[in-house]
Amino acid sequence: MIETLLKPMKAGLIGAGIQASLTPAMHMREGEAQGFSYAYELIDLSQIGATPKDLPRLLEEAEARGLAGLNITHPCKQSVIPFLDDLSPQARDLGAVNTIVMRDGKRLGHNTDWWGFAESFRKGLPQADLSSALQLGAGGAGAATAYALLSLGLKKLLVFDRETERAKALVHALAPLFPSAEVAVADTLAHAMREAAGLVHATPTGMAKYPGLPLPADLLDPRHWVAEVVYFPLETELLREARRRGCRTLDGGGMAVFQAVGAFRLFTGIEPDAERMLAHFNTLAR
């Protein structure tokens, strides 16, 4: 730890359209609070005219600049894997990487998204009924939230995606990893919501550029808990409607913060103050 504190820290984020990301501010503020210099840069594919095909060059350039780690976001979480030396068990299970530690000439891929959601869920929805849940969305965020809920002991997960084949692929990937749980594709939203104790929303609907509700409001019942992954804005239309109908709710801010907590720990070898990072995030996001 002492050696880490003496050396300035450098990390970055690779993705497309990431100028509004709060991740750099969270990392750098926590580094300052821990007493060391921390520079965190954005490598925005949209800004530099690059695509995932440029990842080999971008990774080499990051290493040459002395970055100790990289966060990875859309659209690179899967396409970066062939350029890594090894994966954590969870990243291998999920087939997605959001954190790369670059050390001793090696690139080690991790996934802190699932842990971020699990930690947020534990803190934000304590004693939630984990008998069954419906998840909307089977993309990258959906893979992480599904893995998290099943790791927390969810007994039955129904997955719904407008692209049915994507829902089937996620179910096929997760079912063998959690043999004691039932993982299946939802037939209809109405039937699944009657059966489910909770709802996980893992699609972009509700973001500023994708306004609206991801399902009919009348399917929400006071007995449901509702967990959101969107955090721009923190108060989505889904959460407003769910609270209006008496549901317990969880916004997407916790997942954003706790994935950063996990990445900070991996990059620096130092235990961050999660509550301090959460408080800082709340000042930025509101």
Q: Which residues of 190-211 are buried (b: 16+ CB within 10 A; e: fewer)?
A: eebbeebbbbbbbbbbbeeeee
Dihedral sign of CA atoms 46, 25, 230, 97 in order? positive
Q: Mean of the per-residue pLDDT values for the chain?
A: 95
pLDDT in tens, 194-231: 999 999 999 999 998 899 999 999 999 999 999 999 99
Nearest to 199 by CA among 254, 127, 250, 140: 250
- Burial of 268 per CB tally in 10 Å (0-12, 13-18, 19+): buried
Residues in the chain: 286
Catalytic residues: 77
Contact 259, 115 (CB under 8 A): yes
Contact 200, 139 (CB under 8 A): no
pLDDT-derived band at 286 (thresholds 50, 70, 90) equals: confident
- Burial of 256 per CB tally in 10 Å (0-12, 13-18, 19+): buried
Indicate yes or no: pTM above 0.75.
yes
pLDDT-derived band at 13 (thresholds 50, 70, 90) equals: very high
Return the amino acid letter for 210: Y
Q: Mean pLDDT across the stretch 237-250? A: 98
Report which secondary-structure segment, H or E, holds 250: strand 248-250
Quick one: pLDDT at residue 208?
84
Residue 183's SS3 state is: strand
Q: Mean pLDDT across the stretch 81-108? A: 97
Q: Mean pLDDT across the stretch 115-121? A: 98
**Residue 200: left (phi > 0), alpha (psi -120 to 50), or beta?**
beta
Question: What does the alpha-carbon distance between residue 235 and residue 8 come to, in Å, rounded to a whole number?
Answer: 36
For residue 184 the two structure tokens come to 């299946």
pLDDT in tens, 33-42: 999 999 999 9
Question: What does the alpha-carbon distance between residue 259 and residue 274 come to, in Å, rounded to a whole number?
Answer: 10
Quick one: pLDDT at residue 260?
98
Residue 154 CA to chain centroid, in angstroms?
A: 18
Going from the C-alpha of 83 to that of each of 40, 58, 59, 60, 107, the distances in angstroms are 22, 11, 8, 10, 8
Q: Mean pLDDT across the stretch 141-151? A: 97
**Whether pLDDT at 63 is above 90:** yes
From the CA atom positions of the chain, what is the Rg in Å?
A: 19
Dihedral sign of CA atoms 46, 47, 53, 56 in order? negative
